[in-house]
């Protein structure tokens, strides 16, 4: 016998269960629809931001993204030919544009290649555009208090001392002799060996080794031997290269990030710290050895004193009448190594690359050289060919070709400046000092636009 109440309860339970299942599916469907709506809204927002950011490229030179500013474009640009990329942006913006970095970063600056602005920055209002605290903080670990990291009187004093020494007859003769020795005893044998054995070589690396040996002899009076047979790996040269690369990386990294990496001893900052330690050890060893040499020199030896920068500055006094500290001597030499190492090798690398691309120019240069050699009366095939100063003055076409190479590919394409007080550039761009977060960076770009 079936109990009607039980049947009723079962029916009720079944109906309730069906309703619950239906309600479950309806709620799932509603949540799914909500998810679709949220995704559509997010997609629409992303598209709107992308269109808005890309539209600003016409007015600002580069897309300006929320939070990140122009950083994505900068990261993309440095992956290819950075200087060609900057040149294209400057051409589109009539020579000047304002770079906007990420929020709460120090990557905001004005980039200009307008000749009027350059003259204003580097000549007319030069005192108003020092390197500034940002630059000194960024490169201070490597360059210390050297000329490339100094401003005002400190910069003028170092520049005057170095300029007097560079223009002295003895110094120029000494540097010329050392370079001739390096070219004939190291560079030419390396090139001849590559030709005779049909071995490919990295000409940029060869020229970098040449200039590094030469500038170390000028600055420290020490020969690292980078261009010796076999092209050995020199720890000091490698450490200097690593330190330079890590320091340059700071300029495209927000200050808060690289400072945190330095504090935690991570990534490129760890590499920079280790490299600077090796550079310091080399410099300290050279300075210590030079002081011992000078302390035991006789009067005759002092008359034949070395003509390198280290020895020159060791014989000078600071503004207080005291000898320069070892740290300052180290900074002086490291700064001049940086100045002479990359600039000369980069200029020659671009020059030979352009010659390879323009055979007609190469033929004209060779014809000019052959003409000058043919005018010699004392030509001896058995002696190494060394051009005299008066002969080099006649090489007009070679001089023009080198100048054009430097115009197209400058050795120092970007110069960094900060504005000390509010100013207006000749093209109307405003260089403004922000009181709330320091000075707006003014980057005076020496890019030569073709």
- Among the residue ranges 148-162, 326-340, 403-417, the one predicted with the least confidence is 148-162
- Residues 161/324, Cβ–Cβ less than 8 Å: no
- Residue 32, pLDDT > 90, answer no
26-30, 105-109, 153-157: range with highest mean pLDDT: 153-157
pLDDT of residue 352: 94
Average pLDDT over every residue of 126-148: 87
pLDDT of residue 56: 67
pLDDT of residue 435: 32
238 within a domain of the structure (yes/no): yes
**Mean pLDDT for the chain overall:** 80
102 within a domain of the structure (yes/no): no
106 within a domain of the structure (yes/no): no
- Give 236-256 pLDDT, tens digit per residue: 999 999 999 999 888 878 788
pLDDT of residue 446: 33
Cβ count near 300 (within 10 Å): 7
350 within a domain of the structure (yes/no): no
pLDDT of residue 297: 67
- Residues 332/309, Cβ–Cβ less than 8 Å: yes
- Among the residue ranges 179-183, 190-194, 261-265, 384-388, the one predicted with the least confidence is 384-388
For the chain, give me the number of helices (H) and strands (E)? 19, 8
CA separation for the pair 60, 66 (Å, rounded): 14
CA separation for the pair 305, 313 (Å, rounded): 13
Sign of the dihedral through C-alpha 38, 43, 49, 51 = negative
Beta bridge partners of residue 111, listed in sequence order: 97, 443
180 within a domain of the structure (yes/no): yes
188 within a domain of the structure (yes/no): yes
What's the number of domains the chain is made of?
1
- Give 199-227 pLDDT, tens digit per residue: 888 999 999 999 999 988 888 888 888 99
pLDDT of residue 275: 94
The residue among 105 and 393 whose pLDDT is bigger is: 393
The residue among 398 and 434 whose pLDDT is bigger is: 398
pLDDT of residue 439: 35
- Residue 365, pLDDT > 90, answer yes
pLDDT of residue 8: 43
The residue among 329 and 57 whose pLDDT is bigger is: 329
The domain that holds 261 is classified in CATH as 1.10.630.10
Average pLDDT over every residue of 402-425: 87
The residue among 122 and 252 whose pLDDT is bigger is: 122
- Among the residue ranges 185-189, 301-305, 362-366, the one predicted with the least confidence is 301-305
- Residue 434's pLDDT band, with cuts at 50, 70 and 90, is very low
- Residue 285, pLDDT > 70, answer yes
pLDDT of residue 133: 85
Average pLDDT over every residue of 260-286: 92
Q: Two tokens at 430?
A: 């405003």
- Residues 138/131, Cβ–Cβ less than 8 Å: no
Residue 307 makes CB contacts below 8 A (sequence gap 6+) with: 165, 170, 171, 174, 175
190 within a domain of the structure (yes/no): yes
Residue 247 makes CB contacts below 8 A (sequence gap 6+) with: 138, 139, 141, 142, 272
Cβ count near 58 (within 10 Å): 10
Show the domain range for 152.
146-342
| Burial grade of 237 (CB within 10 A; 0-12, 13-18, 19 or more) | buried
pLDDT of residue 1: 46
The residue among 274 and 82 whose pLDDT is bigger is: 274
The residue among 46 and 168 whose pLDDT is bigger is: 168
47 within a domain of the structure (yes/no): no
- Residue 24, pLDDT > 50, answer no
- Residue 367, pLDDT > 50, answer yes
pLDDT of residue 444: 40
pLDDT of residue 79: 78
């Amino acid at each position: 016998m079936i109990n009607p109440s039980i049947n009723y309860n079962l029916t009720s339970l079944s109906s309730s269960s069906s309703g619950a299942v239906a309600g479950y599916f309806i709620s799932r469907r509603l949540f799914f629809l909500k998810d679709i709506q949220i995704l559509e809204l997010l997609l629409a927002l992303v598209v709107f931001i992308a269109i808005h950011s890309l539209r600003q490229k016409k007015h600002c030179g580069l897309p300006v993204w929320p939070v990140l500013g122009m950083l994505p474009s900068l990261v993309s640009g440095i992956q290819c030919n950075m200087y060609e990329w900057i040149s294209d942006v400057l051409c589109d913006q009539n020579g000047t544009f304002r770079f906007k970095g990420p929020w709460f970063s120090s990557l905001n600056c004005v980039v200009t290649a307008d000749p009027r602005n350059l003259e204003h920055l580097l000549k007319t209002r030069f005192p108003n555009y020092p390197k500034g605290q940002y630059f000194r903080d960024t490169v201070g670990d490597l360059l210390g208090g050297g000329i490339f990291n100094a401003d005002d009187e400190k910069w003028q004093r170092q520049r005057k001392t170095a300029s007097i020494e560079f223009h002295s007859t003895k110094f120029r003769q000494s540097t010329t002799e050392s370079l001739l020795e390096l070219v004939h005893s190291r560079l030419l044998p390396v090139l001849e060996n590559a030709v005779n054995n049909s071995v490919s070589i990295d000409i940029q690396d060869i020229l970098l080794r040449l200039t590094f040996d030469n500038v170390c002899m000028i600055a420290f009076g020490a020969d690292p031997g980078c261009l010796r047979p076999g092209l050995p790996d020199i720890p000091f040269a490698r450490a200097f290269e690593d330190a330079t690369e890590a320091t340059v990386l700071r300029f495209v990294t927000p200050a808060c990030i690289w400072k945190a990496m330095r504090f935690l001893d991570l990534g490129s900052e760890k590499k920079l710290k280790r490299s600077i330690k090796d550079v310091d050890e080399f410099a300290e060893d050279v300075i210590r050895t030079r002081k011992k040499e000078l302390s035991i020199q006789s009067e005759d030896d002092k008359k034949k004193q070395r003509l390198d920068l280290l020895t020159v500055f060791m014989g000078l006094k600071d503004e207080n009448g005291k000898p320069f500290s070892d740290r300052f001597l180290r900074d002086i030499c490291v700064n001049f190594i940086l100045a002479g190492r990359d600039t000369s090798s980069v200029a020659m690398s671009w020059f030979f690359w352009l010659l390879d691309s323009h055979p007609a120019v190469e033929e004209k240069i060779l014809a000019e050289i052959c003409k000058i050699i043919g005018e010699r009366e004392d030509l001896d095939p058995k002696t190494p060919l060394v051009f005299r100063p008066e002969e080099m003055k006649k090489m007009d076409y070679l001089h023009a070709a080198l100048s054009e190479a430097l115009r197209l590919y400058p050795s120092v394409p970007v110069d960094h400046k900060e504005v000390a007080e509010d100013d207006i550039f000749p093209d109307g761009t405003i260089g403004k000092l922000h009181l709330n977060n320091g000075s707006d960076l003014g980057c005076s770009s020496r890019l030569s636009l073709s």
